Amino acid sequence: MNLRSIPKIELHLHLDCSLSYKVVHQLDPLVTFDEFEHSFKANAQCHSLLDYLARAARGFELMQDPVSLEMVTLDLFDQLQADGVIYAEIRFAPYLHLLNGMNLAEVVEVVAGAVRKGIEKTGVEAGLILCTLRHFSEHQSMDTVKLVQSFKGNQVVGFDIAADEAGFPVDNHISAFHYARENGLHITAHAGEACGPQSVWETLANFYPSRIGHGVRSIEDLTLIEHLKKENIHLEVCPTSNIQTGIYKSIKEHPADFLFKSGISMSINTDGRTISNVTLTQEYEKLRDNFGWNTAELRRCNLNAIEAAFMSASKKKALKNRFLELWQNSDLNF
Ligand SMILES: [Zn+2]
């Protein structure tokens, strides 16, 4: 019974929500373990997405210079390796790391360099997704998408929009996503989390994503489910995070199993390893224990994730071969 040893792909993972206590303590020795537990991690059930997002600030406040950005990135690679992840797409918002005088390009350069070191050190393959945030201005969104364009091929693989979908409309970001589409950039977008299916429709119409971050509330509109299947839009599902932000009361009420059975392309992800207080192995265990998921479900979710990954067809093929070989050799009696 070893879910840790099976190879895993993770597509939805926020860098600044994934600091271990070890690296936090190195960056600020004054943060006690208790404080870390209470203010970096979200409660099992927060009041709302906003309450959840407030925890993320503790992470990015510590990531404001090249040394700390590199330490946090390498720390995440250690966590991924320990969790059996073989490929991850790690996302962050460069604009949140300018408080101590770094500029946007420097921030991305440092994190991209740290990703290269992490890959070399751990063997975990990875790419970076740069995020704009819902409350950002049109100008900030454009700056962010232009970073994706200029760092394309230098570890950066895609563009995302995150944060409070209920509080801020799509308007400020339409031109940035138009630019992304015009330039053939890979696009994902958070939607269908705090808001219902209408936010997924709105996101599809304005941001042209090939993947949706969460998107779980699409199940409230079966026409939308059929549309997502027809268009082969992949859902990056993060069960534990959805319980914490109060979308569902418990894992038993989470639609992961329903979505899977609908035949939609989906993967399982942690969202943030610290803030959600969960590993991908533990997410898989929850699905096994609550929905009876076994090798077939987990294998298909990972193969879906490879298909939806932001990489070329030849790299996908190589990753798929590596995944299948490791899968064959792992302990599949769980
Ligand atoms: Zn997220």
User: Distance, CA 56 to ligand 1 centroid (Å)?
Assistant: 11
Residues 6+ apart with CB under 8 A from 269: 10, 11, 12, 13, 236, 237, 238, 280, 283
* Edge-to-edge strands, sheet with 8-14: 8-14, 85-92, 125-133, 156-162, 186-191, 211-214, 234-237, 266-268
Our CA dihedral for 20, 24, 29, 33, rounded to 10 degrees, sits at: -50
The per-residue pLDDT for 47 is 65
Cα distances (Å, whole numbers) of residue 13 to 9, 141, 167, 174, 289:
11, 20, 22, 24, 23
**Residue 106, domain CATH:** 3.20.20.140
**1 occurs within a structural domain:** no
> pLDDT tens-digit profile of 24-33?
999 999 999 9
The per-residue pLDDT for 99 is 95
Instruction: Find the angle CA(48)-CA(53)-CA(59) to the nearest 5 degrees.
Output: 150
User: Distance, CA 306 to ligand 1 centroid (Å)?
Assistant: 19
The per-residue pLDDT for 137 is 97
> pLDDT tens-digit profile of 212-271?
999 999 999 999 999 999 999 999 999 999 998 889 999 999 999 999 999 999 999 999
Closest CA relative to residue 129, chosen from 299, 239, 36, 10: 10
User: Distance, CA 333 to ligand 1 centroid (Å)?
Assistant: 31
Name the residue range of residue 119's domain.
Answer: 8-320
* Structure token pair of residue 225: 């489910």
Q: What's the pLDDT band for 17 if we cut at 50, 70, 90?
A: very high
> Does 116 score more than 60 pLDDT?
yes
> pLDDT tens-digit profile of 118-174?
999 999 999 999 999 999 999 999 999 999 999 999 999 999 999 887 788 899 999
User: Distance, CA 12 to ligand 1 centroid (Å)?
Assistant: 6
> Does 1 score more than 60 pLDDT?
no
User: Distance, CA 137 to ligand 1 centroid (Å)?
Assistant: 20
User: Distance, CA 241 to ligand 1 centroid (Å)?
Assistant: 8
**329 occurs within a structural domain:** no
> Does 21 score more than 60 pLDDT?
yes
Report which of residues 58 and 301 the model is more confident about.
301
**334 occurs within a structural domain:** no
> Does 52 score more than 80 pLDDT?
no
The per-residue pLDDT for 46 is 65
> pLDDT tens-digit profile of 178-191?
999 999 999 999 99
The per-residue pLDDT for 43 is 73
The per-residue pLDDT for 45 is 63
**292 occurs within a structural domain:** yes
**328 occurs within a structural domain:** no
> pLDDT tens-digit profile of 269-304?
999 999 889 999 999 999 999 999 999 999 999 999
User: Distance, CA 206 to ligand 1 centroid (Å)?
Assistant: 19
The per-residue pLDDT for 44 is 66
- Distance separating alpha carbons of residues 79 and 83, to the nearest angstrom: 6
Average pLDDT over residues 70-97: 98
> pLDDT tens-digit profile of 189-214?
999 888 899 999 999 999 999 999 99
> Does 91 score more than 70 pLDDT?
yes
> Does 38 score more than 70 pLDDT?
yes
**330 occurs within a structural domain:** no
User: Distance, CA 226 to ligand 1 centroid (Å)?
Assistant: 24
**78 occurs within a structural domain:** yes
- Distance separating alpha carbons of residues 334 and 178, to the nearest angstrom: 45
Domain count within the chain = 1
**305 occurs within a structural domain:** yes
- Catalytic residue numbers read 193
